[in-house]
Amino acid sequence: MKNVVGLYQSLLQDFGDSVFYWPQWCASEKSIEEREKIIIGMILVQKTSWHNANIALKNLREAKLLSIKDIANLKSLEELTSLIRPAGFFQSKPQRLFDLCSFIVSAGGVDQLMQCDIADTRSNLLNLKGVGPETADTILLYALDKPAFVIDEYTRRWSAKEGLTDEKDYHKLQQYFLENLPEDIILYRNLHTLIIVSQRGKDRSVMEVV
184 interacts with DNA by CB under 7 A? no
77-47-189 Cα angle (round to 5): 105
Report how far residue 127's alpha carbon sits from residue 21's, in angstroms, rounded to the nearest whole number.
32
Measured from the CB of residue 45, what is the shortest distance to DNA in angstroms?
6
Using the rule CB under 7 A, give the single segment among 64-72, 114-122, 126-134, 174-182 that binds DNA: 126-134
Choices 47-55, 104-112, 141-149, 185-193 (CB under 7 A): range interacting with DNA: 47-55
Provide the residue count of the chain. Answer: 210
Residue 62 binding DNA, by CB under 7 A: no
Q: Does 132 bind DNA (CB under 7 A)?
A: yes
**Contact mark string toward DNA, 144..163, x via CB under 7 A:** --------xx----------
Cβ atoms 159, 128 nearer than 8 A: no
Q: Which of 63, 56, 129 is nearest to 90 (CA)?
A: 56
**Does the protein bind DNA through residue 85 (CB under 7 A)?**
yes
54 binds DNA (CB under 7 A): no
CA distance 79 to 193: 33
Intra-chain end-to-end CA distance of the chain, in Å: 40
Interface with DNA, residue 66, by CB under 7 A: no
Pick the piece of the chain touching DNA (CB under 7 A) from 9-17, 109-117, 127-135, 173-181.
127-135
Per CB under 7 A, the list member of 102, 133, 162, 165 interacting with DNA is 133
Whether the CB-CB separation of 110 and 39 falls below 8 Å is answered with yes
Contacts with 73 (C-beta within 8 Å, 6 or more apart), sequence order:
none
Binding site for DNA (CB under 7 A): 45-52, 55, 85-92, 128-136, 152-153, 168-169, 200, 205
